[in-house]
Amino acid sequence: AQSVTQLGSHVSVSEGALVLLRCNYSSSVPPYLFWYVQYPNQGLQLLLKYTSAATLVKGINGFEAEFKKSETSFHLTKPSAHMSDAAEYFCAVSDRRQGNLIFGKGTKLSVKP
Protein backbone atom coordinates (compact mmCIF):
# COMPACT_ATOMS: atom_id res chain seq x y z
CA ALA A 1 0.00 0.00 0.00
CA GLN A 2 1.13 3.52 -0.67
CA SER A 3 1.58 6.12 2.02
CA VAL A 4 2.98 9.59 2.56
CA THR A 5 4.64 11.00 5.67
CA GLN A 6 5.14 14.71 6.12
CA LEU A 7 7.72 15.44 8.79
CA GLY A 8 6.71 18.36 10.93
CA SER A 9 3.11 19.49 11.24
CA HIS A 10 4.26 23.08 11.67
CA VAL A 11 7.30 24.84 10.20
CA SER A 12 8.19 28.45 10.96
CA VAL A 13 10.72 30.48 8.99
CA SER A 14 11.71 34.12 8.75
CA GLU A 15 10.95 36.13 5.65
CA GLY A 16 13.81 35.66 3.20
CA ALA A 17 14.95 32.37 4.72
CA LEU A 18 15.04 28.98 3.03
CA VAL A 19 11.82 26.98 3.10
CA LEU A 20 12.17 23.20 3.42
CA LEU A 21 9.08 21.02 3.82
CA ARG A 22 9.76 17.31 4.08
CA CYS A 23 7.84 14.49 2.46
CA ASN A 24 8.67 10.79 2.40
CA TYR A 25 6.64 8.25 0.52
CA SER A 26 6.15 4.53 0.44
CA SER A 27 5.23 2.84 -2.80
CA SER A 28 5.76 -0.58 -4.31
CA VAL A 29 5.67 0.85 -7.82
CA PRO A 30 7.26 3.99 -9.29
CA PRO A 31 5.06 6.77 -7.97
CA TYR A 32 3.71 10.03 -9.19
CA LEU A 33 4.20 12.69 -6.52
CA PHE A 34 2.50 16.00 -5.92
CA TRP A 35 2.66 19.06 -3.70
CA TYR A 36 -0.44 21.13 -3.06
CA VAL A 37 -0.91 24.43 -1.20
CA GLN A 38 -4.01 25.46 0.70
CA TYR A 39 -4.69 29.02 1.81
CA PRO A 40 -7.25 29.66 4.57
CA ASN A 41 -10.83 28.90 3.56
CA GLN A 42 -9.75 27.72 0.12
CA GLY A 43 -9.41 24.47 -1.77
CA LEU A 44 -6.07 22.91 -2.63
CA GLN A 45 -3.99 24.31 -5.48
CA LEU A 46 -1.40 22.25 -7.33
CA LEU A 47 2.15 23.55 -6.75
CA LEU A 48 4.08 20.96 -8.73
CA LYS A 49 4.16 17.32 -9.71
CA TYR A 50 6.66 14.57 -10.51
CA THR A 51 5.61 12.12 -13.21
CA SER A 52 8.94 10.38 -13.95
CA ALA A 53 10.54 12.98 -16.16
CA ALA A 54 13.20 15.24 -14.59
CA THR A 55 13.84 14.50 -10.93
CA LEU A 56 14.04 18.21 -10.09
CA VAL A 57 10.62 19.70 -10.60
CA LYS A 58 9.89 23.40 -10.68
CA GLY A 59 6.48 24.69 -9.70
CA ILE A 60 4.60 27.90 -9.22
CA ASN A 61 5.55 30.73 -6.84
CA GLY A 62 9.25 29.81 -6.91
CA PHE A 63 8.87 26.39 -5.30
CA GLU A 64 10.69 23.27 -6.43
CA ALA A 65 11.01 19.68 -5.30
CA GLU A 66 13.50 16.92 -5.95
CA PHE A 67 12.54 13.28 -6.33
CA LYS A 68 15.12 11.06 -4.62
CA LYS A 69 14.34 7.41 -5.14
CA SER A 70 17.14 6.19 -2.87
CA GLU A 71 15.74 8.23 0.00
CA THR A 72 12.05 7.81 -0.99
CA SER A 73 11.73 11.54 -0.55
CA PHE A 74 10.13 14.45 -2.37
CA HIS A 75 11.00 17.50 -0.26
CA LEU A 76 9.65 20.93 -1.20
CA THR A 77 11.99 23.93 -1.15
CA LYS A 78 11.99 27.63 -1.85
CA PRO A 79 15.19 29.69 -1.57
CA SER A 80 13.59 32.77 0.00
CA ALA A 81 10.32 32.76 1.92
CA HIS A 82 7.73 35.46 1.39
CA MET A 83 4.92 36.41 3.74
CA SER A 84 2.44 35.25 1.12
CA ASP A 85 3.84 31.69 1.36
CA ALA A 86 2.17 31.20 4.73
CA ALA A 87 -0.29 28.36 4.14
CA GLU A 88 -0.87 24.63 4.60
CA TYR A 89 1.12 22.34 2.31
CA PHE A 90 0.13 18.79 1.40
CA CYS A 91 2.27 16.12 -0.22
CA ALA A 92 0.51 13.34 -2.14
CA VAL A 93 1.43 10.11 -3.90
CA SER A 94 -0.53 8.50 -6.72
CA ASP A 95 -0.64 4.93 -7.90
CA ARG A 96 -0.18 4.77 -11.64
CA ARG A 97 -3.05 2.41 -12.31
CA GLN A 98 -6.01 4.16 -10.72
CA GLY A 99 -4.53 7.60 -10.27
CA ASN A 100 -6.05 8.09 -6.82
CA LEU A 101 -4.04 10.35 -4.52
CA ILE A 102 -2.94 9.49 -1.00
CA PHE A 103 -2.40 12.71 0.95
CA GLY A 104 -0.06 13.42 3.84
CA LYS A 105 -1.41 15.11 6.95
CA GLY A 106 -0.12 18.49 5.90
CA THR A 107 2.49 20.96 7.13
CA LYS A 108 1.52 24.46 8.17
CA LEU A 109 4.12 27.01 7.10
CA SER A 110 4.36 30.23 9.08
CA VAL A 111 6.51 33.13 7.84
CA LYS A 112 7.78 35.67 10.38
CA PRO A 113 8.55 39.24 9.32
Partner 1 sequence: EADIYQTPRYLVIGTGKKITLECSQTMGHDKMYWYQQDPGMELHLIHYSYGVNSTEKGDLSSESTVSRIRTEHFPLTLESARPSHTSQYLCASSEVYYGYTFGSGTRLTVV
CA dihedral angle for residue 13, residue 14, residue 18, residue 22, rounded to 10 degrees: 10
Q: List, in order, residues 6 or more apart from 65 with CB less than 8 Å away.
A: 23, 33, 35, 48, 50, 56, 57, 59, 74, 75, 76, 77
In the complex with partner 1, which residue's Cβ is closer, 35 or 73? 35
88 binds partner 1 (CB under 8 A): yes
In the complex with partner 1, which residue's Cβ is closer, 18 or 54? 54
Residue 57 contacts residue 67 (beta carbons within 8 Å): yes
108 binds partner 1 (CB under 8 A): yes
Site for partner 1 in 18-37 (CB under 8 A): 32, 34, 36
* Least separation in angstroms between CB 9 and partner 1: 9
Binding site for partner 1 (CB under 8 A): 32, 34, 36, 41-46, 49, 51, 88, 90, 92, 94, 96, 98-101, 103-106, 108
